Amino acid sequence: MHSLSKLFLAALSLTTLAGAHQQSRAHSRHRTTVRRQSTNKIYKIQDLYQGEDFFNDWNYFTGSDPTGGNVNYLSKSDAQSKGLAYVNDCDNSTVLAVDSTSTVAAGGKRDSVRITSQKSYNGGLFVIDASNMPVGCSTWPSFWTVGPNWPSAGEIDIIEGVNDQTTNQMTLHSGTSQSCTIGKSNSSTDQFTGQVLGTSCYSTENADAGCSVEDTDTSSFGYGFNNADGGVFALLWDNSTGMSMWHFARADIPADLTAQMPNPSTWGTPAGFWSSQSCDISANFYDHQMVVDTTICGNWAGGSAYSSSGCPGKCTDMVANATNYVDAQWVINYIAVFQ
């Protein structure tokens, strides 16, 4: 759904994107069991993004929203001067907010923030600890990673959803090799707890739904996440094993992660798992930068998902009213990469 390349974005057909996402959600849901090999390894911290680092180590995307949202993505200096990107003195958390004070015309654009890590990665354990995510009708928050020349170097959506969605949707978008699906073998005791929405990860401008797994835990997204004081999401990207994703409610965060000595093989069944046996990980995913953003309406939140979510009126009218965005903010305790 997302892309880093502004050139590519300009050429992208937004209507086909919207169609693809709806297609993904229309897939029948079923529980899947796959083999998951454990790599018994204690990961070491490589990069900790916390406090003022968010303002030094991330770039601010200022192009028009590639997903057609009703947002103006602000530069670093504008985001800071308008109070939409700051560090809380009391707890060192980083806030990335949607403007919740200005009146905007219906169908207009509201200020928001989209940041991209300057560093890129080729594997490891990616962790975000947040106490709040943007919520409510018309919002579309996401924490994801993406490589160059989308979709050839792939995309990994770790946190994503729209409107009043109650559970998190995790998605891989694979590039040109096409050998990437969610495996369906029953052969191991290892499982993942989420529900498969689409099995083919291959994505193009015309068919970019990717392979999604929806978390079953209502503390994994939206108001449920925020009411639980948030929690942690982790992506373990291991070329030889596959991609695993976990969500932990705050009370369930593994002690080894809190101690910055995580051993994910002790963490239990992940919410989502994409096995290297059914997906050529190293061919499809490389040189990924991390992205945190919030858009409004756009292809997914503003499409048929808007009315089907039970949200009132039209999405593009929602944007006019500042009070709809009081809770549309990320409050991030830290983002860390371990290797």
Ligand X SMILES: *[C@@H]1O[C@H](CO)[C@@H](O)[C@H](O)[C@H]1NC(C)=O
Q: Which residues bind ligand X (CB under 6 A)?
A: 33, 48, 50-51, 53, 92, 122-123, 184, 186, 239, 282, 286, 321, 323-324
54: Cα within 13 Å, side-chain hemisphere? 28
Cβ within 8 Å of residue 307, ≥6 positions away:
none
Q: Give min distance, CB of 23 to ligand X, in A.
A: 23
**Of 49 and 221, CB closest to ligand X:** 49
Q: Give min distance, CB of 73 to ligand X, in A.
A: 23
160 is known as an active-site residue: yes
52 is known as an active-site residue: no
**Of 15 and 46, CB closest to ligand X:** 46
**Of 46 and 92, CB closest to ligand X:** 92
> Which segments of the chain are extended strands (E)?
45-49, 58-60, 71-73, 85-87, 94-97, 110-112, 114-117, 124-132, 139-146, 155-160, 169-173, 195-196, 211-214, 231-238, 242-249, 272-275, 289-296, 329-338
Cβ within 8 Å of residue 91, ≥6 positions away:
333
Q: Among 52, 160, 205, 214, which one carries the catalytic annotation?
A: 160
Q: Give min distance, CB of 238 to ligand X, in A.
A: 8
Q: Give min distance, CB of 210 to ligand X, in A.
A: 19
Residue 253 backbone phi and psi in degrees, to 5: -65, 130
**Of 278 and 324, CB closest to ligand X:** 324
Q: Just list the catalytic residues.
A: 155, 160
